Structures are given as structure tokens and as C-alpha cells.
A and B are shown apart, each in its own frame.
Chain A
Amino acid sequence: MNHLNARKTEGGAHRLVVLPFGKSIEIAYKSLKVRFFRSLITTVSLMLAVSFLSFVNVGNDIANGLLAMGDPTLRQALIQSGYDLGEGDTRVEESPKQRWLVILSLMVCVVGIVNAQLMAVTERFREIGTMKCLGALDSFVLRLFLLEAAMQGIAGAVVGAAAGALFALANNLIRFGGPVLSALPWPDILKSLVIAAGTGCLLSLAGVLYPALVAARMAPVEAMRVEQ
């Protein structure tokens, strides 16, 4: 018991287990790179959901821009193309149907991410166990998985938001022609882009949380398992 106490008082500086943040980013980036194709699939699913969100919002922004021009023929064209505009309405709102579709697509996307990340964790059991044998704390493992998800989230969300916006723009150009370009409400579009990209990042992190906790709680002895 004396020995134990002696060691405890030996001091904090010696009892150090660390993983610097820069190093964590490096490891997370490498893990993504080496499983490029598989991370790409997860990222693409996120990208699709985010681009749908961005498509719907930016589409509405553009319709509002057109409406603000006050041209009765454009107003008629908007109503004809399916926007639900009453007599006195000056703005197009997201319809309940659109909203449900967006929420559903985002939910499907999160479930997909959870599934993909759980597979990734199972696949990397030995790697995680080994790291723990080398002295990694639960928090290191958690951090690595969160960082990977954040990188995937940022990439997928930014690309998705941009792709959705471009698609909305092209769609409206085909429908309403030239006036669209002069009526673009840039601040609103930018806001929709930021919202879409932010939602994407959050979803990616939400999706990885449970799998990352499973990984972090894994016992180091798993590294000893022989069967793959």
C-alpha cells in the first residue's frame, strides 16, 4: 500500500496520457483517406439530404425574389408551377408537404449515417482495442470518431448545400427564364445555404454519437481476439 501511495504522490507530470489536438486531426484525416470509398458513401448520403434541404429553401427564396418584382404575369407563372399563393400573399412559404419531405429525408440520412458508422466501428474493433492497449483513453477514441464525422459532415454539407442551390437555380431558370437572374435575393439564399450546411454538420455529428460511444467504451482486451 505504501508503494501505491508513493506512486500516487509521485506527481501529475509523470502520469500523463495525452493526444494533442493536431495529432488527432491528423489521425482522423488519415483514417478517412485510407477508407476513401467507404467514407465517400457516408458523405454522399449526407450530401443528398442536405442538397434536398438546400434545393427546397433556395427554390422558395428565388420564388420570393420573383414575387417581389410585382409582375402579375410572373405571379401567374408561379401559381401555375404549383406555388400556393392566395389573393393577398406577398411571400411564398414552405408548404407542409415540403417540410415533411425534408424532415423525412434528413431522418433517413441520419439512420444511414448511424448504420454506416456502426459498421465502421465493428470493422475497427481491433484497431481501437490496440490503441487502448497503447494507453489511449476513452476520450481519445471518442474524439477521433467525432473529428472524422465532423470532416465528413463539413465536406458533405458544403458540397450538398451548393449543389442543391445550383440545382434550384437551374430549375427556376428553365421555368421562368431571364427574370430569375435579376430577381435573386442573395442575402436569403446565403442564409438558406448556411442553414443547410449547418444542419448537415449537426446531422453528421448526431449520427456518429452512438457508434463513437460504443467504440470509446470498448475494452482493450478486444485487441487480443484472433478471429476477424
Chain B
Amino acid sequence: MTEIHHIVRVTNVTKTFQMGKMVLQALKGITLEIAAGDYISIMGPSGSGKSTLFNMIGGLDKPSSGKVFIDEVDIAQLDAYELAWLRCRKIGYIFQTFNLIPVMTALENVTLPMTFAGMNTDAAVDKGIQLLEMVGLGDRFRHKPSELSGGQQQRVAVARSLANDPAIILADEPTGNLDLSTGEEIIALLKRLSQETRVTVISATHDFKMLNVSDQVIWIRDGLVEKIENREDLSISVGRIDDREAAS
């Protein structure tokens, strides 16, 4: 069991966008591997290519060159149906703006991916309630998103991301629209889930609170990996991180 299972592998990935006559190279050759079960933060200033890389890992975008493997499947080889299946079963998404379906209750939001996955309604409802209890909203499953606070909505979104027992949770700035303490709660929740269920959490973030819980931090700058820091290096360099926060 010494071999590490890499849930995501990115090799020599570049991505260019055509902006009118300008060609913009968002990613300039990124290679990285993410071990299953880790809690990863992707950090970088806006415009660094962080979001592009993130979307690539999430199967939302295809690279211009290079390869992205999710659970050893090359996403460039998948057709629309297989990509939908991948998003449904393998990846759970958490968004900065929560993105709950406004017309559905908390429970219906959580069970929707299970419906897509072909689970029958009774089993989906049972599991949905169980997931909502796990994120601490067991008593609010009948509420519509508009009747929940931001933090509660994000908890529902976390429960929804776990609906089909994904291998990866992709969180795009999950604390971006939350206040300090609510953001900390969501981070703690994600960390707890990653430890309990061994799901790989990958989050793109500006939030330095994330660093404390991350197993690995990937710094992106100008479309390249600037550096990858592991947990051990991080705890030694906490002082430096504080400096960086002050500087930014």
C-alpha cells in the first residue's frame, strides 16, 4: 500500500483563448499530481490561470494541449454523455455563489444528483436527510434556499456535492461570499468530510484560512505552477504566510 493513488494527473497542460485578434495563453504547461484523499488548495492571484486550471480538473473545460486524467480517465477522450456521467458520479461541485436550485427545497437540491444517477426516490430521500444531518441541517430540509442563510446554503451545497459519493469535491472559492466565521465553519466542515470519507477536496481560493487545513497548496502564477507546498513545509512557514497575507 505504499503506492500513492493519484486521483488527478495533469501533464503539460496548456490552454489558449482567442480574444478577438489577441491570443491569450492562460496555462503555459502545467504538470501536477493530486493524491487521493488529500485536501488541496489552489492559490493564485486573479488572472493567474487558476480558474482555468480548476475548470480543467473539474472536467468543465478541455486543454488545448497536454492531458488531464481524472481517476486515470483522460477527459479529452470522453463524449458528452460520459462527461455528464463523470460530473454526476465522480465529482461534487461547490460554488462561490452556492448555486442551489432556487425552486427546490434543501432536500430536493441534495437528492437531484441522486435522481440523475438513477437512484430510486425513497433511497435518495433517506440518503439526502442523512447528508443534511451530517452538515448540521437535519431539521431544515424542507426549507427553500431563499429561507436559509448564506452559510446554511453553502452547507446544503456541501451535502449536495457528496450526494453520489464522489471521488473529488471541487470547491470554487467556497468561502468567497461568506463572512469570516461562517467561512471558517465551512472550511472546518470540508476538512472533517475529507478526513471522514477520504474524499479528495480541491479548492481554488484566495482565502488564507484555507492554508491551515490544506495537505498541499499549489501556487499558480502567470499560467505556471510557482510552487507546491506540502503540509509540513506550511506549518514551518506560517510566519511567512502571514507576511504574504499582509502584503497582498
Contact = CB atoms under 8 A, between A and B. Distances in A.
B99 A17 contact: no
Interface in B113-141: 113, 115-118
A136 interface: yes
Contacts of A19: 115-116
A223 interface: yes
16 contacts: A16-B117, A17-B81, A17-B85, A34-B102, A132-B84, A134-B112, A134-B113, A134-B116, A135-B89, A135-B116, A136-B84, A219-B60, A221-B60, A224-B51, A226-B96, A226-B97
The dominant DSSP class at the B interface is mixed
A183 interface: no
B112 to A, nearest CB: 6
Interface residues of B, number: 36
B33 interface: no
Interface in A116-159: 126-127, 129-138, 140
Nearest to B177: A226
Interface string A1-27: 001100100000001111110010001
B45 to A, nearest CB: 16
A27, A33, A134: which has the most chain B beta carbons within 10 Å? A134
B82 interface: yes
Nearest to B59: A220
B104 interface: yes
Interface residues of A, number: 34
A191 interface: no
B245 interface: no
A30 interface: yes
A221 B113 CA distance: 17
Interface stretch (B22-30, B72-80, B231-239): B72-80
A76 interface: no
Given A17-B85, A135-B117, A221 B99 contact: no
Contacts of A133: 60, 87, 93, 99
Nearest to B100: A130
B61, B80, B115: which has the most chain A beta carbons within 10 Å? B115
A6 to B, nearest CB: 9
Contact of B95 (A130, A132, A140): A130
B99 A223 contact: yes
Contacts of B116: 17-19, 134-136, 140
Interface string B91-111: 001011101111110000000
B103 A134 contact: no
Contacts of B95: 130, 223-224
B104 to A, nearest CB: 7
A90 interface: no
Nearest to A28: B103
A219 B60 CA distance: 8
Contacts of B117: 16-18, 135
B38 interface: no
A134 B87 contact: yes
B96 A134 contact: no
Contacts of B211: none
B13 interface: no
A7 B73 contact: yes
A31 interface: yes
Given A134-B160, A135-B116, A138-B80, A15 B85 contact: yes
B55 interface: yes
